[in-house]
Amino acid sequence: MKLLLLFSLVALAQCLVHRIPLRKGKTLRQSLQEHGLLERYLKQHPYDPAAKYFRTGVSAEPMENYMDNSYYGTISIGTPPQEFTVIFDTGSSNLWVPSVYCASLSCSNHRRFNPAKSSTFISTNESLYIAYGTGSMSGVLGYDTVKVADIEVYNQIFGLSESEPGDFFYYSPFDGILGLAYPSIASAGATPVFDNMMNEGLVARDLFSVYLSKNEESGSFVLFGAIDPYYVTNGIAWIPLSAETYWQITMQSVSIKGKAIVCQHSCQAIVDTGTSLLAMPNRDLTKILDALGATSSGEISCEDQHQLPDVVFHINGVEFPVTPSAYVVKSDGVCSLGFEGMEVPTESGELWILGDVFIREYYVVFNRAKNMVGLSRLP
């Protein structure tokens, strides 16, 4: 399959200079890779997803990779626009940013929205409270123009925080959160940003897709209204949702070395860009750590990490492996597994969260038109 819109005539010139044969049936990327030139080429010609989308209803938002822990991009709110960095979070549904009404320490070192400086702001008397796994916020709701990538959404409802207790948001490199899950879990019944994009015909297709880079590299993005062909050359495995709340799916099992270790009789999972690690019920975490030879705190010998097996997720009849290079996290010379325990009961049983550790292995398509998640193994 040819790579669309990525390599220019400059790439062809590179091939001619190095006399790289473009064999029939092979892409330029494959030919460069065979001759050991791909890495150098990509460094000289970094891929910019936002530069190649000019179709109406298709827009890419670049995201900053912060230490492989969080990914955030820049949006604007109001007229004239006030800029904020936000997590594009598929595990929640509300948009909120700090406001000038906020007296919490967490707001003191972040940009704050000032409604008095926006000619298009509309206030409400409605309050908002959202609790996350690592922090919470409370505030009021308002309406204003929100610009995400190159898409302007008029009269978008959003939260203006008045309180952000604790220190999680104080140390966060981003200002607020833009939720991309379903409206059924939106606090205060607020319409999510992407729902307004769809309702107003601002996206070419009722879906968005996400690429998260590894090792703190640049290039991460969320693409609204399209699927980038560059990232799906391995095909897309489509998984129907089990609930239209989070991006929730059913897993048949999780195996190591061909043996189902946990989730033998199926379990529920959500694909969540706003969670850094792979989260699971505590009893399942214990079994996974034992099977991988880790300590109870998740530490593993750095020397042994290359001998570890894949952790394989069986979903909708397809195997989705996560390699040791993806799930082993090294910090200050200490290696640990990128798994964490939690207890989140649902009507269908306890919940797993397939966070960034999982998502970095796949290009993920969030399809609202068909209520499916699409996963494509990254090369």
Tell me the pLDDT tens digit for each residue of 121-144.
999 999 999 998 888 999 999 999
d(CA 267, CA 318) in angstroms, rounded, equals 15
Strand residue runs (E) in 115-264: 122-131, 136-148, 151-163, 176-179, 207-211, 220-224, 237-240, 243-244, 247-256, 259-262
Judge whether residue 118 has pLDDT over 90. Answer: yes
- Looking at residue 57, its pLDDT comes to 86
* Residues assigned a catalytic role: 89, 272
Exposure of 241 by Cβ count < 10 A (0-12 exposed, 13-18 middle, 19+ buried)?
Answer: buried
pLDDT band, very low/low/confident/very high, at 48 (cuts 50, 70, 90): low
Q: Which two three-digit tokens encode residue 133?
A: 């796994």
- Tell whether the model's pLDDT for residue 352 goes beyond 70: yes
pTM confidence score: 0.85
Among candidates 308, 311, 246, which has minimal Cα distance to 284?
311
Position 302 scores a pLDDT of 92
Q: Could you report the per-residue pLDDT of 303-322, keeping only the tens digit for each? A: 988 899 999 999 999 999 99
**Residue 9 identity:** L
Q: Give the CA radius of gyration of the chain.
A: 22
- Model confidence at 44: pLDDT above 70: no
The lowest-confidence range among 33-42, 102-111, 211-220 is 33-42
Q: 11-40 pLDDT, tens per residue?
A: 333 332 333 333 334 444 444 556 665 455
Of 47-56, 158-167, 188-197, where does mean pLDDT reach its minimum? 47-56
Q: Which domains does the chain have, with CATH numbers?
A: 9-45 (no CATH), 59-224 (2.40.70.10), 232-377 (2.40.70.10)
Confidence at residue 343, expressed as pLDDT on a 0 to 100 scale: 80
Strands 334-337 and 243-244 come out as: unpaired
* pLDDT tens-place string over residues 245-279: 999 999 999 999 999 999 988 999 999 999 999 99
Q: Tokens 């009269």 appear where?
A: 155
Spell 262-292 as b/e; 16+ CB within 10 A means b: bbeeebbbbbbbbbbbbbbbeebbebbbebb
Tokens 């995400």, located at residue:
148
